[in-house]
Amino acid sequence: MARIPHPSRRLCTRLSAAAVFVAMSVAASGGQPGQDLRAQPPALRYDRPATAFEEALPLGNGRTGAMAFGGPASDRFLLNDSTLWTGGPMDPAVNPDAINWLPKVREALFKGDYRAADALTRKIQGKFSQSYAPLGDLYVETPGLDAAQVTGYRRELDLATAVARTAFTDGTARVRREAFVSFPDKLLIVRLSTSAPGGSALSLRFTSQLRHEVTVTANGDLLLSGRAPVHAEPNYRRDIKDPFVYDEGPNPKGTRFAARARILSTDGRVGRRQDVMTIEGATTALLAVAIDTSFAGFDKAPGEGPDPVRSTLARLDAAAGRTFESLLEAHAADVGALFRRVDLDLGRSPQDGKPTDVRLREYASGVADPGLEALYFQFGRYLLISGSRPGSPALNLQGIWNPHMRPPWSSNYTVNINTEMNYWPAETTNLAECHQPLLRFIGDLAKTGAVTARHFYGAGGWCVHHNSDIWALSNPVGDFGQGDPRWANWPMAGVWMSQHLWERYAFGGDAAWLRATGYPLMKGAAEFAMDWLVEGPDGFLVTAPSTSPENAFITPDGYTGVVSVMTTADLALIRGLFLNVIQASETLGVDAGFRTAVKAKLDRLPPYKVGSRGQLQEWYHDWDDQDPAHRHVSHLIGLFPDDQINPIDTPALAAAVKRSLELRGDGGTGWAKAWKIGLWARLLDGDHAYRMLRTHLQYVPASSETQMKGGGTYPNLFDAHPPFQIDGNFGGTAGITEMLLQSQRGEIHLLPALPAAWGTGSVRGLRARGGYTVDIRWRDGKLESAAITADRAGTVRVRYGGLTAERSMKARQSVDVTAGVAGLSIR
Ligand code: FUC
């Protein structure tokens, strides 16, 4: 088998040769070993029911999401379907006048009239995104149960099997509930049991904030059915009088949904009232809920899509005769096959036995809890498995778990960092299958985005701006001038997302996929970037208008603006895409002419610049930031998640990134802190990365609705922007991974940023670019041994500290790496 070359190797040569323009001189620049996670499965544990969303436990299979609250007398399951959005297919050609303003914006920018450029850019805007809708709630109620009499209450979420369990004693009866959302059977399954002689009485009911009705069907199912609005205004437009529009026509438009509940088996008597199902005298009952919508694709009218009332019936019928054990077995095997690929052991502590929320609170006061850090890492993997499966939509701002009619930022796809961050751990933590929804979404976006590129800018290829939704919205948002260009007019999402296409290939090595799917999409994004670049007054090819998500600059004459020329974020993204697309076309042996054209553009890009404070300049000129601690650090993309800058090949630029990070400080929202874990890890500073992890895990109480006051983590380990935003979970998991293993630069770097706090531990099953699976053990801060298994034959290069070694490997061969006085040995 041919060796798949390390895709990043080109950077060693390309970047050490790259010109670095230095405007001014650069400023000087616990636990116990051996905990076996298989013996003690990773789980979130609590001794109280959830009273708020941020305490409830997420279950899901990519399509159906459920948040389990675990209330003894009234148990709530908040229900979501990841295809249930407001709106319908978008028209990407919404602003025919926009194209006339681009030359005027550029003229203003090249004259240095930033005030005019800010105003004129507003002419280049379209509609806002639609909103992810909450489907409803299922309540399982136990009439007569007095919550005050409950003792011995426990609930937990077992990550390796994706089962939520609640258990308590009611008087003398032991009551148990187990719930999971199965991917193979596409059902929410809840088993209810009690040891009370004669059983107990239960009732089931549905509610929804959407237009809906609840009925008992002819065959006895409890059915919630309804539809979503055809339009919703973003939550931040508080001034809008009627934020939801429903179609009132005879065949109303808008996505239809259904949730259908059935008791698959019980020893009790099932009864039905108008909109409630009851069970009397049951010691056990097996409940199944099927959820579906009429969504039929980003470009299909959802009103005409498949009928969810019927599809849910078919799904429940298919489960007839199934036992809890057989459903659980299929579910646990499915989840386990993904989850168990990776173990992380950072050591034990007395905190291990405590409830998760107590651990998190005590962690904030400085207590060492390596088990909580490992649990947090695994929770990110769990969320990817539960929220993103082949065939489901990509994870949105809240994953798939949203309780709000007007969710924060519409619970949309915010693609100037958040959507990408959701998928940072997909490849590195051995969950490549879970990457698929994003990769597929990029294909949808390339279709609408081609119209946007042509219609708004007269450009080829495809582009996407700051926000998207399930309809693959691609235009600049802002409602035709209402949006601040600092976020609305950022056209680089396609360029950034294309990084994921190359990463998929870099890890997985599927050349047929690259040829048929990945490369054509990358090429389209590059074609847009090539057309979008324009010659600036100093002869370089630049982007104009250009923003640095979502920061503002102050010019020397005191103007605070947002639109300028070629921010470093734009430079890093375009440079990264050009390097990747050149290598992809070389790998595939296609498009020599196109490759030459890309190289010609690449050579005319401006260099990275180091500013007067030693920082990597965020702006084309060495301007001050309006907010020096701004949460976005997009100018540092070249270090992470891209791999253009690193301390080994480009030390001067890496030092400038470090200075930029110091100037920004360690604060920020949830995702901002998570990003900084990865950035410090890429700077090979494990202790600073660890400091960021500790602040990322700062306890935020469930009731906190405060925004932008510094991120952290909720009692259920959901990321707190605040409010809840799931990107920080994935960024946190990705950051921890970067501390343990890196594989950019064509080599496998073992323990590149191991902090002093993680003295002894092990990790099994991480993935490295080039197609390797890596296990590492370390003791007292030093590598003990590593095992590397190759997917394919080739030469593996390994680094540990300053030591490197190389050897050839056969397909599926495993080798052991140790470090000794004689250097690094691979056997
Ligand atoms: C961007 C960020 C915010 C938030 C929102 C969803 O606008 O700047 O912090 O993450 O997306």
The enclosing H or E element of 686 equals: helix 686-696
Mutation probe of ligand 1 site: the residue of 725, 729, 730 with most atoms within 8 A of C-beta:
725
Residue 775 has pLDDT above 60, yes or no: yes
Instruction: Give the nearest ligand 1 atom to 409 CA.
Output: 6
Please work out whether the CB of residue 487 comes within 6 Å of at least one atom of ligand 1.
yes
What is the tens place of the pLDDT at every residue in 569-594?
999 999 999 999 999 999 999 999 99
**Distance from Cα 744 to the centre of ligand 1, integer Å:** 28
Give pLDDT, residue 300. 97
How many Å apart are CA 675 and CA 6, to the nearest integer?
A: 24
Neighbours of 616 (CB within 10 A): 27
Please work out whether the CB of residue 421 comes within 6 Å of at least one atom of ligand 1.
no
Please work out whether the CB of residue 550 comes within 6 Å of at least one atom of ligand 1.
yes
Instruction: Give the nearest ligand 1 atom to 549 CA.
Output: 8
Per-chain mean pLDDT for the chain: 94
Please work out whether the CB of residue 507 comes within 6 Å of at least one atom of ligand 1.
no
DSSP string, 67-120: EE---SSEEEEEEEETT-BSS----S---TTGGGTHHHHHHHHHHT-HHHHHHH
Q: Are 771 and 698 within 8 A, CB to CB?
A: no
Shortest CA distance to 287 belongs to which of 239, 332, 322? 322
Task: Pull the structure tokens for residue 800.
Answer: 């540990």
Atom 1 in ligand 1: residue holding the nearest Cα: 414
What is the tens place of the pLDDT at every residue in 445-468?
999 999 999 999 999 999 999 999
**Distance from Cα 443 to the centre of ligand 1, integer Å:** 24
The enclosing H or E element of 578 equals: helix 568-588
Neighbours of 92 (CB within 10 A): 23
Atom 10 in ligand 1: residue holding the nearest Cα: 418
**Distance from Cα 229 to the centre of ligand 1, integer Å:** 24
Neighbours of 805 (CB within 10 A): 16
Q: Are 718 and 54 within 8 A, CB to CB?
A: yes
* pLDDT confidence bin for 304, thresholds 50/70/90: confident
Collapsing DSSP states into helix, strand and coil, what is residue 620? Answer: coil
CA dihedral sign, ordered 556, 562, 565, 566: positive
Neighbours of 602 (CB within 10 A): 18
Task: Pull the structure tokens for residue 628.
Answer: 């020096």
**Distance from Cα 162 to the centre of ligand 1, integer Å:** 29
Please work out whether the CB of residue 397 comes within 6 Å of at least one atom of ligand 1.
yes
What is the tens place of the pLDDT at every residue in 51-68?
999 999 999 999 999 999
Mutation probe of ligand 1 site: the residue of 414, 548, 627, 729 with most atoms within 8 A of C-beta:
414
Torsions phi, psi for 675 (to 5 deg): -60, -40
Place of tokens 């698929």: 436
How many Å apart are CA 371 and CA 33, to the nearest integer?
A: 11
**Distance from Cα 157 to the centre of ligand 1, integer Å:** 29
Strand partners, 157: 44, 164
Please work out whether the CB of residue 413 comes within 6 Å of at least one atom of ligand 1.
no
The whole-number average pLDDT for the span 497-503 is: 98
The length of the chain in residues reads 827
Give pLDDT, residue 240. 87
The whole-number average pLDDT for the span 791-818 is: 98
CA dihedral sign, ordered 684, 712, 39, 164: negative
**Distance from Cα 391 to the centre of ligand 1, integer Å:** 27
* pLDDT confidence bin for 27, thresholds 50/70/90: very low
Q: Are 620 and 548 within 8 A, CB to CB?
A: no
The whole-number average pLDDT for the span 425-430 is: 98
Give pLDDT, residue 40. 63
Q: Are 408 and 725 within 8 A, CB to CB?
A: yes
* pLDDT confidence bin for 17, thresholds 50/70/90: very low
Residue 21 has pLDDT above 80, yes or no: no
Give pLDDT, residue 41. 81
DSSP 7: G
Torsions phi, psi for 758 (to 5 deg): -105, 60
Asked if the bond preceding 651 is cis, omega within 30° of 0, the reply is no
Please work out whether the CB of residue 418 comes within 6 Å of at least one atom of ligand 1.
yes
DSSP string, 124-170: S--PPP--BPP-EEEEEE-TT--GGGEEEEEEEEETTTTEEEEEEEE
Mutation probe of ligand 1 site: the residue of 397, 402, 409 with most atoms within 8 A of C-beta:
409
Greatest alpha-carbon span in the chain: 85
Residue 559 has pLDDT above 90, yes or no: yes
Q: Are 92 and 100 within 8 A, CB to CB?
A: no
Spatial strand order in the sheet of 553-554: 560-561, 553-554, 624-625
Neighbours of 663 (CB within 10 A): 16
Instruction: Give the nearest ligand 1 atom to 412 CA.
Output: 6
Instruction: Give the nearest ligand 1 atom to 632 CA.
Output: 8
Bridge pairing between strands 211-216 and 222-227: antiparallel
Mutation probe of ligand 1 site: the residue of 421, 550, 675 with most atoms within 8 A of C-beta:
550
Instruction: Give the nearest ligand 1 atom to 727 CA.
Output: 10
**Distance from Cα 408 to the centre of ligand 1, integer Å:** 9
What is the tens place of the pLDDT at every residue in 72-117?
999 999 999 999 999 999 898 999 999 999 999 999 999 999 999 9
Task: Pull the structure tokens for residue 117.
Answer: 């450029």
Neighbours of 573 (CB within 10 A): 26
What is each CA distance from 171 to 144, 146, 147, 196, 200, in whole angstroms?
12, 9, 10, 9, 12
Q: Are 815 and 809 within 8 A, CB to CB?
A: yes
384 Cβ contact partners less than 8 Å away, ≥ 6 residues apart? 395, 425, 426, 429, 431, 434, 730
Domains and CATH numbers, the chain: 35-84+132-339 (2.70.98.50), 99-129+388-665 (1.50.10.10)
CB-based burial label for 441 (10 Å; 0-12, 13-18, 19+): buried
Place of tokens 């032991």: 174
Single-letter code of the amino acid located at 27: A
Asked if the bond preceding 252 is cis, omega within 30° of 0, the reply is no
Place of tokens 């600092």: 486
Please work out whether the CB of residue 631 comes within 6 Å of at least one atom of ligand 1.
yes
Instruction: Give the nearest ligand 1 atom to 708 CA.
Output: 9
**Distance from Cα 794 to the centre of ligand 1, integer Å:** 42
Strand partners, 225: 213, 258
Please work out whether the CB of residue 414 comes within 6 Å of at least one atom of ligand 1.
yes
DSSP 639: T
**Distance from Cα 720 to the centre of ligand 1, integer Å:** 12
Bridge pairing between strands 222-227 and 803-809: unpaired
What is the tens place of the pLDDT at every residue in 666-682?
999 999 999 999 999 99
Atom 9 in ligand 1: residue holding the nearest Cα: 669
Place of tokens 């590129």: 453
Atom 8 in ligand 1: residue holding the nearest Cα: 550
Shortest CA distance to 792 belongs to which of 768, 771, 762? 771
* pLDDT confidence bin for 389, thresholds 50/70/90: very high
CB-based burial label for 715 (10 Å; 0-12, 13-18, 19+): buried
What is each CA distance from 388 to 269, 381, 713, in whole angstroms?
38, 10, 21
How many Å apart are CA 194 and CA 751, to the nearest integer?
A: 49
* pLDDT confidence bin for 706, thresholds 50/70/90: low
Give pLDDT, residue 9. 35
Residue 2 has pLDDT above 80, yes or no: no
Atom 11 in ligand 1: residue holding the nearest Cα: 414
**Distance from Cα 417 to the centre of ligand 1, integer Å:** 8
Instruction: Give the nearest ligand 1 atom to 487 CA.
Output: 7
**Distance from Cα 188 to the centre of ligand 1, integer Å:** 32
What is the tens place of the pLDDT at every residue in 746-765?
999 999 999 999 999 999 99
Q: Are 812 and 790 within 8 A, CB to CB?
A: yes
Please work out whether the CB of residue 669 comes within 6 Å of at least one atom of ligand 1.
yes
**Distance from Cα 711 to the centre of ligand 1, integer Å:** 12
Q: pLDDT: is 723 or 3 the higher one?
A: 723
Task: Pull the structure tokens for residue 374.
Answer: 């490992």
Mutation probe of ligand 1 site: the residue of 395, 418, 465, 490 with most atoms within 8 A of C-beta:
418
* pLDDT confidence bin for 321, thresholds 50/70/90: very high
What is the tens place of the pLDDT at every residue in 522-532?
999 999 999 99
Torsions phi, psi for 564 (to 5 deg): -145, -155
Place of tokens 């539960």: 386
* pLDDT confidence bin for 37, thresholds 50/70/90: very low
* pLDDT confidence bin for 349, thresholds 50/70/90: very high
Instruction: Give the nearest ligand 1 atom to 408 CA.
Output: 6
Give pLDDT, residue 131. 98
What is the tens place of the pLDDT at every residue in 200-214?
999 999 999 999 999
Residue 6 has pLDDT above 60, yes or no: no
